[in-house]
Amino acid sequence: MTLLVTGGAGFIGSNFIFYWMKHYPEDRVICVDKLTYAGNIAALQPMMDRPNFRFCHLDICDRDGIERLFEDERPDIVVNFAAESHVDRSIESPEIFLTTNIVGTSVLMDACRRYGIRRFHQISTDEVYGDLPLDRPELLFTEETPLKTSSPYSSSKAAADLLVRAYHRTYGLPVTISRCSNNYGPYQHQEKLIPRMIFKALTDEPLPVFGQGLNVRDWLYVDDHCRAIDLILHKGRVGEIYNIGGHNEMRNIDIVRLICHELGKPENLIIFVEDRKGHDLRYAIDPSKIHRELGWLPETKFEDGLKRTIQWYLDNRE
């Protein structure tokens, strides 16, 4: 089988490629990445000499380039990780998010329609649901929760999800969508909360936390996410959405304190800064559907995953 992975030099995409080639060493994997600031080609170096791996420096919005690639490779499955994903950047410069996340997704699906595929899988986010109140812990996002976006980033991802579902209904394209909670683990760009705090703590820099750090996120170790995508590709129902959550709700301030503790750094490094515009209060996913239908549950406890992540950054500073 030939698998086309877009955004494969990014954080989750590269981890997914490692996962797939470990579990399915006979498959051919084609990685497409534009190599923006968030793409790290060095992460894929261990794959480069494998005869069943190919890297393509390509923008998913490049319709001609994508068409040529599909003509050459005729992929069986497309997994679309490619996205602009940083909320703060989307607030400053929305247009690139709309272009990559919406137009790029349509370019890929048009190629899928033309050349035929077994599955197009869209990697989405729990941020398309908006947020939940801090004082209602019983409330969780389900696949039926209405879309209620808060940022240009989440709006662009919600639009892409709607487009994917429209291609399924209008053209019969075999699609699935997964909406995951916040991922963490190796190779994550240091603009994100956990690696950013690790790097700053290592150099004894101030650790800036939005507001009072009370915003809650549901954290998912990246290997658990990769395993969930694997199950969806092999056993998931075409046309369905699957929420992937970590059962690890944590306040931002508590995560930063844990990082300080693990690195032996004083908590007085923590400073509180002006809150993000439109900052969502709480994300929390109900993964009952993927557990019920596909048997998936997260296996990594947050404390264990965080220790593993910190150690990886300590061992791989370059």
Is-catalytic flag, 135?
A: no
Cα–Cα distance for residue pair 164/95, rounded to 1 Å? 20
- Tens-digit pLDDT profile for residues 16-57: 999 999 999 999 999 999 998 778 898 899 999 999 999 999
User: If you average pLDDT over every residue of the chain, what do you get?
Assistant: 94
CA dihedral sign of residues 245, 246, 249, 253: negative
- The tokens describing 251, both together, are 């306040």
pLDDT tens-digit series, residues 257-315 = 999 999 999 999 999 998 888 788 899 999 999 999 999 999 999 999 999 999 999 99
Q: Coil, strand or helix: which one is 13?
A: helix
Strand partners for 3: 29, 77
Per DSSP, the three-state class of 243 is strand
Active site residue 62: no
Question: What are the residues facing 242 on neighbouring strands?
Answer: 178
Q: Interior CA angle at 161 toward 142 and 153, to 5°?
A: 95
Q: What's the pTM value of the predicted model, to 2 decimals?
A: 0.93
Listing DSSP states for 142-178 in one string gives -TTSPP---SHHHHHHHHHHHHHHHHHHHH---EEEE
Q: What is the pLDDT of residue 36?
A: 84
For residue 239, is it left (φ>0), alpha (ψ between -120 and 50) or beta? left
Catalytic member of 33, 59, 84, 127: 127
**Choice among 129, 153, 184, 187 that is catalytic:** 153
Task: Confirm whether 115 is a catalytic residue.
Answer: no
Confidence of residue 86 (pLDDT cuts 50, 70, 90): low
Q: What is the distance between the alpha carbons of residues 94 and 152, in angstroms, rounded to a whole number?
A: 6
Q: Token digits for 243?
A: 């929420």
Which of the following is catalytic: 126, 131, 249, 286? 126
